[in-house]
Structure 1
Amino acid sequence: MVRVSTSKSGDLGSNPGLLKFCMTQCQEGLKSETKTTMSRSSKKNGYKSPAKSPTSLTESQMEEQIKEAKLQCKNLIKNYSPKTHRHNDEVKTSITRLNKIYNVFKPLPPETATKCRRAIGLFFVDNDLVPILCEIVIDYLKTGWLDAEGKQDVSLFSTMHEAVLILVNYSDSSVEISDCEADVPGFFECVGEQLKNLHVKLSTGKPATLLDQRMTGTLLDISNNTSNADKGRKKLRELGFMQILKPFLQLKDEGLKLTAFVCLATLVDEKESGMLHGSVSLVSFLLNVLSKALKHPTRRNHGWSARELTQAVTKLARSDVNKKLLVKEGALPLLLELCNAQNKEEQREAVNALWALSFDDENKELIIQEPGMMKRLMELGKSSDADVKKSALGIMWILRYNLRDKKDYHELGKNLIGKRLKTSKSPSKEPDSGDFQHVMISYQWDSQDVLLKVRDQLRTQGYNIWMDVDCMEGSTLQAMADAVENSAAVLMCMSRKYKDSPNCRAEAEYAFQRRVPIIPLLMEDGYKADGWLGILLGSKLFFDFSGRYSFESRFDSLIKALGVKGQTGEQGVKVTSQSDTSKGQDTADSAAGKIIPVVKSKILSVAPPVSEEKAKVVKLWGNKEITSWLKSNKLDRSSMSTLSGKQLVFLRNLKGESPETFYGLLQKNLALTSIEDLMNFVDALTELL
């Protein structure tokens, strides 16, 4: 589909060339509407094939189209020249054909269409077509699409726009394309500058034609797709795209605003998420677009499918601050409607979004209270779709203690808390050798290759290793719980994707709650643990397996940190219990091999448990009760004025579970830096709970 904005900031009547262009598109049967999307798998822009689109394709027809795409790719590469491409009809023909081929797969089931498009996209990458397309786009963006008289030349614009669309469309199925784009010198620098210029036209009343609006939408699209790739996200952040995109949130054009909003949700980290949750209207706007999509026969709005909009909700929910706001603005009924849909893709996205939202304490109660929600989650927990089933069970796992306290769901909560995996082959036990513990590797799948090497090397050193690729028998949820409970230590393999994964968070928080020693491994160069992961790890230093240093130097340090935890050895030495403490270890975290001490990974003395009755009362405290308590203990100061009853209970529990993290929070967040201030607060908190 061709991107032509419905908000007309340009006058067709005053531009005969543009009018002729738009009339031609209508004659070709192309739909004129704003298209700003996060994922383009079912609504690609481009030119419709002259032949009538088939209702389906045979396998041989699919193969023919893939062969044709490969042929056009080779032709484009052969005929391309930086100096002459603008006047080369063969180059233009190949670009147009590649766009048409993309749309040929539209009638196919989404998974089949994606498979075909991915095969083509990977061929582009393997044959270095991506840099050529980027160079074509750079040339046009720098020199413009103006004719000799300085007027916009529709034919030049069309070629450039189609080149961008190839990158946008196929990168949806092949993230490798986005990584290639990030490597092309000057490409996103040029895209960023063009977006700045276009925003000025669109926001200040300066002349902006429909071509400008279409170009804005397409450049926002390619930025959004690229933000989903690790290398691309890093590149956009380095180039300051957050500040480039932020002004687009104020545009009247809802389609452009939506794409900028979703792209920003991917780019920001926990500390920067304020630029998104600062405006309730933006979250409300997103949910309103989703609501309208669910009511439309096509289940689309502003060119976005309900599935894609739900992905955007999940992106926003990565920030703990946004979790509350999304639920407050009405996300739960919409997600339940998606869960009730027959479309498996929509179900997958909906339960994944709910899983992300369920980590907030207030949301837990609201999810349970949402009419029909628990009934549907229990049904989806038996789904034939593995992803849907896993997420639904994951949600109920997070809600387990809240469910136990509800009359209607008491047995469900009780079973979730007490149920354990029982298989004939348990990875944490060795026949006739006693009750051995293992070292659990908790990771996100993008880091798997490196961690398989870590696993294999640890096993050669006599360690009993639990990794999901070896040990996932029966229920995934129960396998995870069993793995944590039988761990002598957990290697927590941190990255941005680990932090954003509900499954990884469930593992990490359960290990934290069980007071299992945690040893952090850094898997993403430059990543700094933030949000819930930063709180959980506290000031622990990490072992860098991101590739910056040699694997051998990191591994040697890791062995020292583990000591005998999880080690069986040839003699079957029994692992120390969780109450044992580990000696101080060293790790080398510089290219020169200098030694940097690692914070001891040990279990500190456990504080007396918090009284449940007292905790229930304090959780209900409002500002009045908090102020009174602070004054009575001579703690009334501005840094504590925003404390809530729930936060006091959390801090009291944290004191027993992770003193290191507890005292770090008091110093950093509550500005308690003197020994006397710390002593007064801790004494008052201990007396209260």
Structure 2
Amino acid sequence: MATFEEVKPVLDEALQYLKTCSDFSTPQATKALQAIEWLKYEGVSYLVTQSFGQLFGRILGGLSGFLEREKWAEDGFANLELVLGACISLTDNSPELGAKLGTYGSIPLLFSALQKLETYFEQNEEFRIIKLLTISIFGILHNSIRLNCNSNCKIYRDAQAVGICKKYLKSQNALISTFSLMILAYVVDESESGILATSDGGVAILVQWLQEAINSDSHNAAFNWITGDASELLDCLNHLAINDSNKLEIEKQGGIPAIVRMLEDDFNEGEQCVAAEAVWNLAFVKSIRTSPQLQEAVPLLDILRKSTNRNLRKISGIAYWEINDNRHEDLPTRESTPLDASPSYEESMKEPKRAAANTVKVMISYQWDFKHIASEIRDDLVNNGYRVWMDVTHMRDDMLISMAEAVEKSEIILMFLSESYKNSQSCRTEAEYAYKLQKKVIPLLVQEDYKPDGWLGILQGMKLYYKFFSDDLTQTEMPLLLTALEELAQKGKAHDEHDGPITATQSTGIHASPPPSSKSSVRNWTENDVQDWLKKKKLGDLCDTLDDLEGSHLEKMYEKYCRDPTKFEDELRSDYQMSGKLCLKFTVALEKVFKN
């Protein structure tokens, strides 16, 4: 077989032709596409350097007309099959190419093609002709999202990926329905992932395939002529588990033993990393964290957190700390992570250039996509005399140590609210640890179209926030933020006079969440009063679940919420079987009725 260097001149000639070609249905175009198809396993890195990501969009656009039924027998349709068949292998071997397809507009074209083919996918005779082409499109889309979820997710959603893939879930072709499900696992948001799991059995299917994969010698489950390895399947489950209800569904469907099994030493380090990340994710729900099945992961994680593999050591260490309820003694030492250690808390604190009286230590808690905003706010605070800690190392060996130390030693946490923050396990660990230690939290909204939901919505509750998602707003909101910090500084230590998270208000800038009044009229509510309140707040679904509660019970529930919002949410989910959305609506109503 010829080597890459031997065929490179032919490939260069083919690429040059395609870059100047105006008709991709000709025999010359076929020959050029065949040269690329030959290199689908070995020449992908070279193709990326030669702008194939941009070229693919031109080819796809040029051949899209052959998706029409009357043109399926023409050469252009065969060329479309050829380039798509090559690209599924190319994207499987190159995350960078998948990212380029998103950058240069190929993703909307691929979903548009699926929309055109929807008419035929259940008509058996006609579908046979386009089956392989449809499978190739789904394969490309699956590779491009699983390897580039952060960069491509919004592009998929804007291209109507959720609606299109949910239609194809009903396909009688197992491979197409499989690809649809796995793409949706990466793309659906908080509410949609819950719907997907319950209505289409997505979690149950993925758990079944995962069990098949870990029990095979190759750790693969077979889907017709394509296999899915255990890591890939578990990664899909982990994305679905962004929704806490799906975490419970994974447990219900028997997925935890399979996940724990992947931590054992007959799985490779990459598979163990994915399993440790899944344990870390599941451990956010207390009922799962304390379950005997997940607790079986503890001794395995204890071994893996001492691994010589940097990534495995880090993820296992965080999972071990999370599953053991954030015990300080379970934090690793800096000496145990010598390869890439961060500076100490004091060393990484950015000090003001001028002295300011009674300054407090401020920590910025943010997701990496918003580093530029975080840096600007940090510099503004420093210029105004505040001492600010902000993680700029991102993936250091001792990320857990640095995070825990920063939360423990800082007096105020500026928490950046965004969808990517909500979806980040690292950010959730950071945020819930801050609330567990009853740190003062000032929320900053950094994504304009985001409304806090899921676990972040529960923590946020009814608290107002400062808006920092545009330069104009930054200029107007910064004085308000500085006023809030100044009020705290004048009070001395932030925790001396406040119990609970700091919240922004329109009048004074900040105030502490008040405990419920023992004289509250709510306390005297009867069972009927509680039922009427639930209906008024459009929580009628809870009337049967909470049919025997009186006002005094609501007051006790609110006290629990004030002490530990995360623990309270866990109890709502486990004791009352509430979904994430219902939890959020109930806690918002509960907080509002007692604050009023």
Note whether the superposition's TM-score is higher than 0.5: yes
Which protein shows a greater Rg?
A: 1
Contact kept in structure 2, 1:523 and 1:545, CA below 8 Å = yes
Aligned residues: 546
Which residue is 1:407 aligned to?
none
1:202-601 matches, cutoff 5 A: 202-209=121-128, 211-227=129-145, 228-230=148-150, 232-279=152-199, 281-301=201-221, 302=223, 303-340=227-264, 341-366=266-291, 368-370=292-294, 372-401=296-325, 415-416=329-330, 425-427=344-346, 437-469=360-392, 475-547=398-470, 549=472, 552=475, 555-563=478-486, 576-580=493-497, 597=506, 600-601=509-510
The letter of the residue matching 1:481 is A
2:559 aligns with one of 623, 628, 652: 652
- 8 Å Cα contact 1:95-1:162 kept in structure 2: no
Structure 2 length as normaliser, TM-score?
Answer: 0.76
Change (3 A) 1:200 1:392: same
C-alpha change, 1:445 and 1:575, in structure 2 (3 Å) is: farther
SS at match of 1:86: coil
Contact 1:201 1:208 in 2 (8 A): yes
Partners of 1:584 and 1:599 within 8 A in 2:
no
Distance 1:607 1:673 in 2: 11
Please report how far the alpha carbon of residue 94 of structure 1 lies from its aligned counterpart in structure 2 after TM superposition. Answer: 4.5
Alpha-carbon distance in 1 for matches of 2:588, 2:491: 44
Q: 1:452 to 1:214 in 2, by over 3 A?
A: same
User: In structure 2, do the counterparts of structure 1 residues 205 and 539 end up closer, same or farther at CA, with 3 Å as the change threshold?
Assistant: same
**Alpha-carbon distance in structure 1 between the residues aligned to 2:587 and 2:345:** 45
The farther-off stretch of 217-226 and 160-169 is 160-169
Distance 1:95-1:529 versus aligned 2 partners, 3 A rule: farther
Deviations 1:43-95 (A, max 9, x none): xxxxxxx54x9xxxxxxx8xx59x949x9468525643463332262x54444
Q: Within 2, Cα distance between the matches of 1:316 and 1:325?
A: 10
Post-superposition Cα deviations, 1:268-300, rounded to whole Å, max 9, x if no partner, equal: 211222331223733221112122222333322
Can you give the 5+ residue segments of structure 1 that lack an aligned partner in the other structure?
Answer: 1-49, 54-60, 106-116, 404-412, 567-572, 587-596, 610-628, 684-689
Q: Which of 23, 39, 46 does residue 101 from structure 1 map onto?
A: 39
Contact 1:146 1:152 in 2 (8 A): no
8 A Cα contact 1:73 1:94, kept in partner: no
3-state SS of 1:376 partner: helix
Residues 1:84 and 2:23 are matched in the alignment: yes
Q: CA deviation at 1:674?
A: 13
Give the whole-Å Cα distance in 2 for the aligned partners of 1:267 and 1:427. Answer: 40
Contact 1:400/1:414, CA 8 A, preserved across alignment: no
Relative distance call for 1:212 and 1:150 in structure 2 (3 A) is closer
Q: 1:499 to 1:414 in 2, by over 3 A?
A: closer
Equivalent-residue separation in structure 2 for 1:190 and 1:420 (angstroms): 50
For residues 191-228 of structure 1, give each alpha carbon's deviation from its aligned partner in whole angstroms, at most 9, with x where no partner exists.
3343234343232435222x512221222233334544
Q: Structure 1 residues 370 and 507 mapped into 2: Cα distance closer, same or farther (>3 Å)?
A: closer
What is the CA deviation profile of residues 455-490 of structure 1, one whole-angstrom value per residue up to 9, with x for unaligned ones? 334323322111223699995434322211222211
**Residue 57 of structure 2 corresponds to residue 134 of structure 1:** yes
Deviation per CA, 1:502-522: give whole Å up to 9, x if none: 221011011122232222333
Contact 2:465 2:503 in 1 (8 A): no
**Amino acid corresponding to residue 494 of structure 2 in structure 1:** S
How far the C-alpha of 1:320 sits from its partner, in A, is 0.7
Q: 1:202 to 1:473 in 2, by over 3 A?
A: closer
The aligned residue for residue 589 of structure 1 is none
Q: What residue ranges of structure 2 are gaps of 5+ in the alignment?
A: 336-341, 519-523, 533-539, 570-580
Per-residue CA deviation, residues 6-41 of structure 1 (Å, 9 max, x unaligned), is xxxxxxxxxxxxxxxxxxxxxxxxxxxxxxxxxxxx
CA distance in 1: counterparts of 2:383 and 2:12, whole angstroms: 47
- Structure 2 vs 1, CA of residues 479 and 344 (structure 1 numbering), >3 Å: closer, same or farther? same
Aligned residue identity for 1:577: A
Q: Aligned to 2:444, what secondary structure does the other structure show?
A: strand
Structure 2 counterparts to residues 157-196 of structure 1, below 5 A: 157-162=80-85, 164-165=87-88, 168-169=91-92, 172-174=95-97, 176-181=99-104, 184=105, 188-196=107-115
SS in 2 for 1:207: helix
- Contact 2:67–2:117, Cα closer than 8 Å, also in 1: no
Q: 2:478 and 2:234 mapped to 1: Cα distance? A: 40
Question: How far apart in 1 are the matches of 2:305 and 2:475?
Answer: 43
The structure-2 alpha-carbon separation of the partners of 1:76 and 1:525, relative to structure 1 and needing over 3 Å to count, comes to farther
1:233 deviates by 2.5
8 Å contact 2:37–2:82 — kept in the other structure?
A: no
Q: How far 1:348 sits from its partner (Å)?
A: 1.1
Shift, 1:400, TM fit: 2.9
Structure 1 pair 666/453, CA: closer, same or farther in 2 (3 Å)? closer
SS in 2 for 1:262: helix
Offset of residue 315 of structure 1: 0.7
- Higher helix residue share: 2
SS at match of 2:218: coil
What SS does structure 2 have at the residue aligned with 1:289? Answer: helix
Q: Identity of paired residues, percent?
A: 23
